[in-house]
Structures are given as structure tokens and as C-alpha cells.
Structure 1
Amino acid sequence: MKKHYIKLLIWFVSTTAFSQVQGVGINEDTPQQALHLGSSSGTIRVDGLNDANSLFNGGGAVTYPLFVDGAGNLTLEFKPIYNSNGSDALDHALLPGSVVTLPAGDNDGVMVGELFNFTIAVNRASILEVKYNVSMDVFLNPAETAISDRRARRVNTFFQVNGAGRKYGQSAKCYTGGSVDSETGKLFNTSTSYITLPAAGSYVIRFYGEVSSGITNSTANTGLATCVKFARGNDSLLFRLH
């Protein structure tokens, strides 16, 4: 009896060691990883992710993206770093740089102001997806006098990493008016961009508003008086790491 017990124990240890080296195969005779799922149809089914068991599966014939969280759990839930999700993302009263004013006779006819910024820390090289929809009102001056000179103003918005280098997510609108009764109203710049974060570390993503007008044949000092007030409407933001 004792000999049989020893033989059985040796066989069990040997089998366990073999399994640890080779992994576990399902429909796969020679597993290449700790768990190797083989399938002649090329599909894998997880009932916990179907439309009956997951709130994030809308059912039907369409497909849904699968995510992995920090603990290694598989989920259909979309979890961005930040998503305003219908609420107003930017309060102009809390953004000291939300008004960008171009004075009449400005030398190059361009004025750039930082509207807001946010810091993101990553532990590996990553790609940051940024979506924005930012509102703006265009006037002649901070007193909100309507533009009536029939000359165009261009308003551009963009992101930069640490305030330098490539301009991401550029979007622009032009505005003009022919009388003091001209419609002002809110315009919106909208864009989606993917920002490369090359290594682990902390990055400051800075968002700018650029106002330009009045340049004719590169003649200096022809800037037209313009005042753009940003973030007065229902603005939206989404940040997501890849």
C-alpha cells in the first residue's frame, strides 16, 4: 500500500510540473501559453459578456469592443479618463484665460491664449485620445460690441503637449458681420485627435485659442479689433488612454 502511494505521488508531481511548463490547452494538444484556447471556428464565447448578462452589450448583430482593466478583468464597459457625458465640461468663470482679445493695429494680427490645461501621468508609452467641443462668441471688444466691418475673423483651437511642438486637434471657424444688428451667437470648434506620449512620466496637455484677422499682403499693424469669449456654451470633453 505504501509503495502504491509513493508511485501515485510521484506521478502527480510529474504531471503538475509538466502542466506548469506546457500550459493548459482547450481544443489544443500543444498549448503555447498558460491557457491556450483552440477553435476551428476561430471564435470564443463568454456568456458573462452576452446581452443577457452584460448591461454594456446592446445585443443584435453588431459587435462591441472588449476592454481589460488594471486587474486583468475583461469588460465591455467603456471607462475613459474623463467624459463630460452631456454635462458642461468647462465653466468660463473658472478659466481666467477664456477671453482672447486681439487689439486693433496688432503687429501680426494674431493673438493666442491658453484656455485650460490638464496633467496626465502614465507608466508606459501611450496614446491619448482627446475629443472636444468648445463654444465661442465673437465680438469687436470685451464690451461685446457687434462686428460690423464685413471683414473676417478666424478662430482656431488646438492642443499641445507641455506647451510646445506639434499642434493637435486643430479646428477653426471664420466669422464676420455687416451691421450692429449682425447675429453673434455661439460657434463651436469640434475635433478628435490622438496624442503620442512617448514614455512613462507626467505630461501637461495645454489647450489654446488663437484669434487672427486683418493681415493683407503680409502688411504689419493691420490687425482688426476682435474679442473671442470661449466656453460660454455647453462644452464637452473626453480623454481616453490607449
Structure 2
Amino acid sequence: MMKNYILTFFTLLSTCLFAQVNGVGIGTTNPQQKLHLASPTGTIRVDGLNSPNNLYNGGGVDKTYPLYVDSNGDFTLKTSAYNNSDGGDAYTSTAAINGTVTITTAQSPNDGYEVVEITSFPFTVARNTILEVKYSISIEVFSNSSYNIIQDPYARNITNFFTIDTPTLTATTRRYAPSSRCYFNRNDAAVSPMPAPDAATGFIYNSGTTYIPLTPGTHTLRFYGTISSGTANRNTHIRFAGGPDAIFLRLY
């Protein structure tokens, strides 16, 4: 009987030592990690992450939600962002905003194109990471800085995009998440010479999303807006970021 106790003791001891050195295996006697689920159908259930217990779990049969790891290594369903306007205006009057761009018939060159840097966001990362960027920028279209409506039969193309770590915009600069809108008002002065013919007014939006790999260091996002009136300069005045705008930055 004593031999059986001794044999059982050494069996348990060797099992514990094996588990401490190699990890804990469920369905395997040779765990390859600290916790190894060997079953091909093995899953993990955490009651603290289910819909009755976690307000970030929306519930619903056959619906899933992203699982994240916080700085402590804890699992969580709550997502956090490096920058998130979260219902507020991303481009406020306190930021460095240059939100207008103008084309006039008198300017040179007569190429019907202008570009402006709207604002920038510097930030620092300590490791290799993936940056997710989502933006939504409001646009208002006028014929001049007095905010008169356009009264000609020509379309305008308005584009927004951003660059990363490029202080000067050139023809070869990588432009991320470009988004465009076309403005057209056919009720022009030649057809309808009234003082104020009908035209669309108010905000339109350009929105974009992209993912960028980054190395450790300080980086700068620069948001731009462009206007094109065709091959010739036609009076145009665009006001960017004058409405409720949004930006979302998240590091992975």
C-alpha cells in the first residue's frame, strides 16, 4: 500500500513539474504554450465578455465582436483610439486650419487647379505598428470669397486626401485615402439670368479610410484639399472643414 502512495506521489509531482516547465495542456500531454488547447473544436468562454455581463457585447445569435488586449494584457471588448473626435468637431477654430482654396480667372497658371493643406496631426509611436485612419471632411462650394453661388455651366471636382511624413506636396507624393465629389449647377446665368438662380448649398462630404505601416518615431499626417474647374480657371471658392467633421486614428 505504501508503494502505491509513493508511486502516486511521484506521478503527481512529475506531472506538476512538467506542467510548470512546459505549460498546461488540455487534450494534450505535450503543451507547446503556457496554455494549449489541443482539441480541433476547442474554444474558450469568458463569462465576463458575454452579452449579459458586458455592455460592449451587442449580443445576437451568430454575431461576433472584436476582442482586444489592453496594456495590462487583459482581454476587453472596449476599443480605444489614439485620436477620436467621437461626435465632436475634429477641426475646431483653435486648431491650425487653413480651410479655403480659391480659383480666379485672373490667376496664373491658367490650369484650373489649386491645392491647400488644411491641417496636420503629429503623433509619436514607440514600436512598429499599423495606423488606421478614418476621416470625414465637410465641403462648401461658392464662386468667390463673398460666398456667392456658382452661376456657370461647368462642373468642379473637389478632392481630399492625406500624406504621411511629407512636408511638401509634389506630383509624386503618396496620397492616402483620396475621396472626391463633383459639384455641378446647370442653372447658370446664361440660361437663368435672375440675380440668384437655384443652386445647391450647404455641406457635402469627402470620407476615406486606410491602414499604414509605421516604424518607431514621430510622424505627421497632413490633410489636403484640391479643387479642379477643368482645363481653365473658373471662379471657384471652396471652404473645407467648416461643418461637423470627424477624424479617427487607431494604432494596432
- TM-score range (shorter-chain normalised) is 0.7 to 0.9
Identity %: 43
What corresponds to 2:204 in structure 1?
Answer: 187
Question: Aligned ranges for residues 53-68 of structure 1 at < 5 Å?
Answer: 53-61=53-61, 62-68=63-69
Which residues of 2 match residues 127-142 of structure 1 at below 5 A?
127-142=130-145
Contact 2:138/2:245, CA 8 A, preserved across alignment: yes
2-structure distance, mates of 1:162, 1:224? 32
1:38-187 to 2 correspondences below 5 Å: 38-61=38-61, 62-92=63-93, 94-104=95-105, 105-107=107-109, 108-163=111-166, 165-177=173-185, 178-179=188-189, 180-181=196-197, 182-187=199-204
- Contact 1:106/1:224, CA 8 A, preserved across alignment: no
The aligned residue for residue 29 of structure 1 is 29
Alpha-carbon contact 1:92-1:231 (below 8 Å) kept: no
Is residue 92–residue 230 contact of structure 1 (8 Å, CA) maintained in 2? no
- Normalization by structure 1: what TM-score? 0.84
Measured in 2, the distance between the counterparts of 1:214 and 1:93 equals 34
Number of aligned residue pairs: give it: 227
Alpha-carbon distance in structure 2 between the residues aligned to 1:21 and 1:45:
25
Residue 213 of structure 2 corresponds to residue 196 of structure 1:
yes
- Aligned: 1:207 with 2:208: no
Deviation (angstroms), 1:183: 2.4
Residue 224 (str. 1) matches residue 227 (str. 2)? no
- The runs of at least 4 aligned residues of structure 1 exceeding 3 Å deviation read 10-20, 92-96
Aligned in 2, Cα 1:42/1:239: closer, same or farther, shift over 3 Å?
same
Change (3 A) 1:44 1:14: closer
CA distance in structure 1 between the aligned counterparts of 2:108 and 2:150, rounded to whole angstroms: 17
Q: CA offsets, 1:119-174, max 9 Å, x none?
A: 12222222211111111111111111211011111110001001263101101111
Q: Within 1, Cα distance between the matches of 2:15 and 2:210?
A: 52
Contact kept, 8 Å, 1:81 with 1:240, in 2: the verdict is: yes
TM-score for the superposition, normalised by structure 2? 0.81
Partner Cα distance (2:212, 2:30) in 1 = 41
How far apart in 2 are the matches of 1:235 and 1:185?
Answer: 14
